[in-house]
Amino acid sequence: MDVSSTSKATFQPSFWRDRSVLVTGATGLVGGWLVKRLLEAEADVICLIRDWTPNAEIVRCGDIDRVTVVRGDICDQECLERVLGEHEVSTVMHLAAQTIVGIANRNPVSTFEANIGGTWKLMEACRRSPKVEQVVVASSDKAYGDAKVLPYTEDTPLAGMHPYDVSKSCGDLIAQTYANTYDLPVCVTRCGNFYGGGDLNWNRIIPGTIRSVLRDEAPVIRSDGSFVRDYFYVEDGATAYMHLAEQMAERPELNGEAFNLSTEIQVSVLELVDQVLETMGSALQPKVLGEASNEIQHQYLDASKAREMLSWKPDFALNEGLARTIQWYQNYFENHQRQSPAIARVSRSTAAA
């Protein structure tokens, strides 16, 4: 099954056709799927790309050849202003970020530069660009920090404590500042942990677990397995961003609002790994290291505001999203890697399960 051909995505064709859309972070997990959906909607897509990533979904599926690529850095304000002006960008989808907690802990400066500096430079570039009509900024549930009362609502204070969380808190507040002070048409999204096909960061729990099963190896859990998270399927994220931009065009009163996006289902890391193993028909047992540090223990979101104000809801339940994700990785390993006998054997058995 080609999961990209069976999307539930819906959009307003008249809004997106020939619309000039800038996507930052297009080589990332969500960015690749967002570009795919924008191209389906016949938008004119411009992608700001710093590093060439040959295994990124946008490259793997050939979408890179259907977009305008600008090589540049999100922290280069002159480049941003040139892109917005020369391409007469109407809608900005800001997804570019350093998203790995471990990297943020080891190298906070690069994370602060990308997630904080990159956000204010893009907001300032948009402020100077009169053609920009909507700016969707992808924040995170991590922006809330370690709140004592759960689930997070949009009224929960943004109070990150560790490098990655702080970077998202700051970027989120900066985006709201430009909406409130300069009337920039900005909305912020706060999502849980994204998962889906195309995520080749094997340190993340879902791709790492799937790869381990395909190699007939015990999956590794860095924490003690009790951490609770929201897990949000990447195709739901892509369509939600498009839906939000459409709503912003129709309802200017949404400018400056922030929206939690979530399936509102709380799952521990150990429960998630067990569900992946069950879906893949594997009898492997996870190896629990208990080594995670500077991470929030419990996080989950209340998405009632998005449901009520945007008439939005996710299309994919966790079991359905995981099944599509597993299928993507099975296809990936079959098509892009020389398989060992163990991978081939497990791939055939899980495909038949």
Residue at 284 is within a domain: no
Predicted pLDDT at 207: 97
Predicted pLDDT at 8: 65
Radius of gyration of the chain from Cα atoms? 20
Residue at 136 is within a domain: yes
Cβ proximity of 195 and 232 under 8 Å: yes
Least reliable range by pLDDT among 7-11, 73-77, 83-87, 190-194: 7-11
Over the stretch 274-304, which tens digit does the pLDDT of each residue have? 999 999 999 999 999 988 776 778 889 999 9
Residue at 321 is within a domain: no
Number of domains forming the structure of the chain: 1
Residue at 66 is within a domain: yes
Domain at 65, CATH number:
3.40.50.720
Residue at 185 is within a domain: yes
Residue at 220 is within a domain: no
Domain that holds residue 176: 13-192+233-263+297-315
Average pLDDT, the chain: 92
Over the stretch 99-149, which tens digit does the pLDDT of each residue have? 888 899 999 999 999 999 999 999 999 999 999 999 999 999 999 999 889
Average pLDDT over residues 20-27: 98
Backbone angles phi, psi at 250, to 5 degrees: -85, -25
Residue at 126 is within a domain: yes
Backbone angles phi, psi at 11, to 5 degrees: -155, 170
Coil, strand or helix: which one is 95? Answer: coil
Tell me which residues are annotated as active site.
164
Average pLDDT over residues 310-323: 96
C-alpha to C-alpha distances, 326 to 283, 333, 339, 351, nearest whole angstrom: 16, 11, 16, 9
Residue at 103 is within a domain: yes
Q: What is the pTM of this model?
A: 0.90
